[in-house]
Structure 1
Amino acid sequence: MIIKPEPSLKDLSYLIESSGLKPSDLLNMYRRMLTIRYFEETIRKIYHEGKNPFNMASGIIRGEMHLSIGQEAVAVGTLYKVRDEDVVVSTHRPHHHAIAKGVDANKLAAEILGKVTGLCRGKGGHMHLFDKTKKFACSGIVGASFPQAAGAAFAFKYSGKDNVAIAFAGEGAANHGTFAETLNIASAWELPLILVIEDNKYADSTPKSLVMSTTFHYQRGLTYNVPSYLVDGMDVIDVYSTARKAIERARKGFGPTLIEPLTYRYVGHFEGDSEEYRTKEEVEMWSSLDPIRRLENRILRLNYADNEILAKLREEARKQVQDAMDFALRSPYPDPNEALTGVFA
């Protein structure tokens, strides 16, 4: 574990300055992380309505639900200054990446609730989100993000564009063959690809230590001649600093980078997970490193804002989320006659 103690004010100021961040950037990051947290907490509450006793097939939102509460710094830090034209391919746990990429929260909420006003007219659900305007996609297939993003990166290089493609995946997905295959060809062809492995210690309920021959995935990246970094995924500044350099390097034609943020998810692999594979003490320890509280404390220590300003940002984030949920709940369901429209086109 590389979670570091809090730096001194002098060191913290230097880290922020050297990352090219301004006080306004930290406030924007704070608000985006809050929006993600409130969005998922609200979706979680709606998801559990009508599920007592728990039944995945009942309630307003049916089926599985995968949340990323605790991992907000990874999404916001990585995607803070990407372009709309840059491609992002997410996973079956996609909400934080979608919001950080700028996907419309109203359409995102509507899609999760299966409404016709959703990103895919209610047909994709929470694991299959697509937004052509923001170049965002995800898939319920574990490990699929690697080759999909590599394809976009190849297209950018082939067409002479300086855009980048970013693939997110968990540490379990990085044990799939698509990870090694993508690393190899991305390195050989110097593709503008960033691989981000969200290392939260568990692949579903399996501790990664039981199924990995190396301690970290970044070590594997190095064997493919890909610059690879282990970062503090509970520190949005650390994530941003590394991602910024990786993206700049890719835009200049120097090829792929692998980033492995150490992070933690405060909820189970899926809603309804009994979480027997981890202890209450472990969750409490990681909760003390909450990325949103860490950033809030830093903003206050540096006098970038006071409690009144932070409270206003929290209220703005809450309102944005509530407006999105109200929009989704008001929206109609798709006409059953549309069931096959666009599916086989």
Structure 2
Amino acid sequence: MSTKIHLDRAHAQHLYREMLRIRRFEARCVELYQAQKIRGFLHLYDGEEAVAVGLMAALGAGDAVVATYREHGHALARGLPMQALMAEMLGKLEGCSRGRGGSMHIFDRERRFFGGNAIVGGGLPLAAGIALADQRLGRAAITACFFGEGAVGEGAFHETMNLAMLWRLPLLLVCENNLYAMGVPLADGEIETDIFRKAQAYRMPAAQADGMEPVAMEAAARAAAAHVRSGAGPFLLECRTYRFRAHSMFDTQAYRSRGEIEQWKQRDPIERLRAWMQDSHLLAESDSARIDAEIGAEIDAAVAFAEAGTLEPAADLERFVLMDSVVQDAPARVPP
């Protein structure tokens, strides 16, 4: 299932730029993490950029996105400002979640980006709720929910699949299958390693996409999104991809070989698209240099903005946790 993409010079360069922005942004995050300016956990998207960039191209401004804890790529591809994202990474008040979310809980109400979730599969029922709300309110919107293949073993996955089909929710389920649920090889945890086939038990239409190829990924995403947008109900899209870096900065990667990683790097979506564009005369050396310089300047500005940011005062520790007295003292809302 796919929709042909008109890959002109502008669109090809857009795909390339967006993937490179994610890769370079996270590379700088690694430096900041090693300098102890980013604290807590850090889960990198290195190698999986084509999934986020291709999928976001199929969504409109009114659609909703629910991400995983590996969501920096999702956030940038969705259009969250890099400065606000970097400030969030550094725990600053100017961050998109006021510095409270950090790396794993990115949120942006304006762009309907409903954040990452530290619980494996935790975003699935939330996405179903958002899709249900849009459906009941008559909004012409769909909800895209990202999750890893490790989440399909969670009860929340099966409950969401069941309810989504029962209620014909406008929900696009996007499984980023990078073959390892943290450190467990897919075949060691799932008897059915083609995740999209699990949709059959719920009579849900599904497809598998090459998550290492941005053009194929966008085509599959547009077809899947069109199905959901038509009112035909939910759709499961499995994206076969691979992370080049460890699960998190604390992962020793004892479960896979260096040779396997290098083999997958031969399919690097950024390098392959760059080479194809150069061969097709869609990316000149001057274009490449300009894009590199622009991304570098954007990242430098984001880091400077974040480092100059402020920490939330300790006096505000309970803010947004306990209901403000103003809200508590407000008169009860009269039912319509």
**Normalised by the shorter chain, which TM-score bucket?**
over 0.9
Q: How far 1:22 sits from its partner (Å)?
A: 3.1
| Partner residue in 2 for 1:246 | 224
Count the aligned residue pairs: 321
Task: State whether structure 2 residue 284 is matched by structure 1 residue 298.
Answer: no
Task: State whether structure 2 residue 16 is matched by structure 1 residue 30.
Answer: yes
Residues 29 and 80, structure 1, Cα contact 8 Å, conserved in 2? no
Distance 1:251 1:184 in 2: 19
Structure 2 counterpart of 1:94, from 47, 71, 80: 71
Distance 1:79 1:274 in 2: 32
Equivalent pairs: percent with the same residue?
36
**TM-score, normalized by length of structure 2?**
0.92
Task: State whether structure 2 residue 110 is matched by structure 1 residue 133.
Answer: yes
Q: How far 1:176 sits from its partner (Å)?
A: 0.7
Task: State whether structure 2 residue 42 is matched by structure 1 residue 65.
Answer: yes
| Partner residue in 2 for 1:11 | none
TM-superposition CA deviations, 1:39-59 (whole Å, max 9, x none): 10000111011xxxxxxxxx2
Helix, strand or coil for the counterpart of 1:324?
A: helix
Gaps of 5+ in 1: 1-14, 50-58
Task: State whether structure 2 residue 104 is matched by structure 1 residue 145.
Answer: no
Residues 29 and 38, structure 2, Cα contact 8 Å, conserved in 1? no
| Partner residue in 2 for 1:166 | 144
Distance 1:330 1:31 in 2: 27
Structure 2 counterpart of 1:109, from 80, 86, 96: 86
Residues 58 and 221, structure 2, Cα contact 8 Å, conserved in 1? no
TM-superposition CA deviations, 1:196-237 (whole Å, max 9, x none): 111111011111111112021101012211111111110011
Look up the equivalent residue of 1:150 and give its one-letter code: A
Matches for 1:3-18 after TM superposition, within 5 Å = 18=4
Helix, strand or coil for the counterpart of 2:231?
A: coil
Matches for 1:257-296 after TM superposition, within 5 Å = 257-296=235-274
Residues 266 and 287, structure 1, Cα contact 8 Å, conserved in 2? yes
| Partner residue in 2 for 1:231 | 209
Residues 84 and 133, structure 1, Cα contact 8 Å, conserved in 2? no
Q: How far 1:335 sits from its partner (Å)?
A: 1.1
Gaps of 5+ in 2: 324-336
Decide which moves more: 278-287 or 296-305. 296-305
RMSD across aligned positions (CA): 1.4
Residues 58 and 225, structure 2, Cα contact 8 Å, conserved in 1? no
Look up the equivalent residue of 2:18 and give its one-letter code: R
Q: How far 1:81 sits from its partner (Å)?
A: 4.0
Distance 1:84 1:331 in 2: 28
Residues 128 and 139, structure 1, Cα contact 8 Å, conserved in 2? yes
Distance 2:41 2:294 in 1: 29
Look up the equivalent residue of 1:28 and give its one-letter code: H
| Partner residue in 2 for 1:329 | 307
Q: How far 1:85 sits from its partner (Å)?
A: 1.7
Task: State whether structure 2 residue 179 is matched by structure 1 residue 201.
Answer: yes
Distance 1:48 1:315 in 2: 24
Distance 2:200 2:78 in 1: 28
Look up the equivalent residue of 1:135 and give its one-letter code: R
Distance 2:61 2:206 in 1: 25
